[in-house]
Amino acid sequence: MQKILAKTLFFSISASASLLVSTGNLKANAQNQSFNNNEITSYAQAVLAMEPERQQAFGEIKKIVGNGEVPQIVCSEPNSLNNLPGRARDIAVNYCNHSQKIVSDYGLTPDKFNRMTVEIQSNADLKQQVYNALIRLQKNTNSQ
């Protein structure tokens, strides 16, 4: 059960990150980055903390958009927010603001979080380390 939840959350990293990161500028900067264990754990904690809010925000935006597809929302790109209908834009902005606070609360800068997110897409070792951190954090949460 924990592994299924970890996989689900791991796949949602891309979705959470799509609300935070503009990958265009970061790909060149993210390659060959090394991240320490504390940063990896902080990243996993931030993703776990953001996930319920991401799901809620996505669900609310989907209801507003209706049958249309929810456009990609990138917090660092105002145009992606401005293209949303009024209430959906408010929900996305609130999510973006709170997600940045969550990232900061776990000791990462938005830039570091974004670089890790981009690096995970192409670095299998980092992806596995984050996955392992997610499982470890879930086990600790479930055993308390």
Query: pTM for the complete prediction?
Result: 0.79
Q: Region 5-19: what's the mean pLDDT?
A: 50
Q: Which residues of 12-32 are buried (b: 16+ CB within 10 A; e: fewer)?
A: bbeebbbbbbeeeebeeebee
- In the chain, the amino acid numbered 65 is V
Q: Please write the tens of the pLDDT for every residue from 118-133.
A: 898 889 899 899 999 9
Q: Please write the tens of the pLDDT for every residue from 84-109.
A: 888 999 999 999 899 999 999 999 99
Domain limits of the chain?
2-20+36-142
CB proximity list for 130: less than 8 A, separation 6 or greater:
10, 13, 40, 43, 44, 47, 116, 120
Q: Please write the tens of the pLDDT for every residue from 40-65.
A: 999 999 998 988 888 899 889 989 98
CA distance 14 to 7: 12
